[in-house]
Amino acid sequence: MTAESLRVVVTRRWPEEVQAELRARFPAVELNSDDTPYGTERLRAALREADVVLPTVSDRLPAELFEGDLRTRFVGNFGVGYNHIDVDAAGRAGVVVTNTPGVLTDATADTAMTLMLMVARRAGEGEREVRAGRWTGWRPTHLMGSEVTGRTLGVLGMGRIGAAVARRAHHGFGMPVVYFDPQEPDAATVGVPDARRVETVEEVLEASDFVTLHMPGGADNTRLIDEARLARMRPGAFLINTARGDVVDTAALIAALEKGTIAGAGLDVYDGEPDVPAALRELPNAVLLPHLGSATRPTRVAMGMLVLENLTAFLDGRPPPCRVA
């Protein structure tokens, strides 16, 4: 099959630079010009009728979608996380799955730092006050927040993004770093000479003023941060999540924020997004972003181009560089 006849389905609107490249390489490409989410039945149809499907984190591809007679042999995920795809089922169906690691590291680490600063300094509350016309002027006790500089950062998951956050926090804000990761990362990769690795999640929670999450979603990480673990955090501590929404027990987090078990949370991802519980949205000590982690134009273009690099390798009979199934 030639590139000219290859049917490629792109489930959401991508940056125009990438879409132009897709049109040039694959004349039969089907783009999502109105950016409407596909939904289960449309995804099922795509896997049965297209040679290549290019989904994003907003698309759920459970095992049932990989059952039956599939035409698709390549799924190129636009994003580094892939817990929304049942990769085991895809592998059994003979479908190659790839992701886009590396190119979004800095953008996501910047977002984690943004959340950290916003929630500590109560920037969300202040911005809402000004916009609502409720600000009455400077006063000594107005919206007093917490320090960031010199406070202890706890990192759960010291991969590319976790290490990038640790470097920003330590070298930019003088923050000591403590972390847990099942695998011992190379010291040079972490880039924080005196970062302290501990043996359990609980040790990080107990030692940190800010806890930032950087692990894959799903499997053993589902509800990793639950009621018991939130109770192990310091009362003045903050939880930051730019990983996956299902890593945190949302109900337990809401209760912890309401009761003052922890001081606040900065979230960019949610379990069941885009639905965010009203109780969470109403909490003043929660900063909530709409999954902006990688949302810079250069990063999103680089993600799309990496999908194309993986697809090109697959079509050429070479191992895709970012294969996950």
**Tens-digit pLDDT profile for residues 105-149:** 999 999 999 999 999 999 999 999 999 999 999 999 999 999 999
Domain ranges across the chain: 8-103+297-315, 105-288
218 vs 144, higher pLDDT: 144
DSSP characters over 130-171? HHTT------TTTT-----TTPPEEEE--SHHHHHHHHHHHH
CA dist 101 and 71 (Å) reads 26
pLDDT of residue 5: 87
What b/e sequence results for 239-265 when a residue is b if at least 16 CB atoms lie within 10 Å of its CB, and e otherwise? bbbbbbbbbbbbebbbebbeeebbbbb
CA dist 265 and 250 (Å) reads 11
Residues that are catalytic: 244, 273, 291
Fold of 8-103+297-315: Rossmann fold (3.40.50)
Q: 1 falls in which pLDDT band (50, 70, 90)?
A: low
**Contact criterion met (CB below 8 Å) for 154 and 204:** yes
* CB within 8 Å of 68: residues ≥ 6 apart: 48
CA angle 275, 292, 52 (to 5 degrees): 85
Q: 86 falls in which pLDDT band (50, 70, 90)?
A: very high
* CB within 8 Å of 280: residues ≥ 6 apart: 250, 253, 254, 267, 286, 288
Provide the 10 A C-beta neighbour count for residue 63.
14
* CB within 8 Å of 297: residues ≥ 6 apart: 15
Mean pLDDT, the chain, rounded, equals 97
CA dist 8 and 26 (Å) reads 7
pLDDT in tens, 276-297: 999 999 999 999 999 999 999 9
pTM of the entire structure? 0.95
CA dist 115 and 93 (Å) reads 40
Return the CATH architecture of domain 105-288: 3-Layer(aba) Sandwich (3.40)
pLDDT in tens, 232-268: 999 999 999 999 999 999 999 999 999 999 999 999 9
pLDDT of residue 189: 85
> Are 8-103+297-315 and 105-288 in the same CATH fold?
yes
Q: 4 falls in which pLDDT band (50, 70, 90)?
A: confident
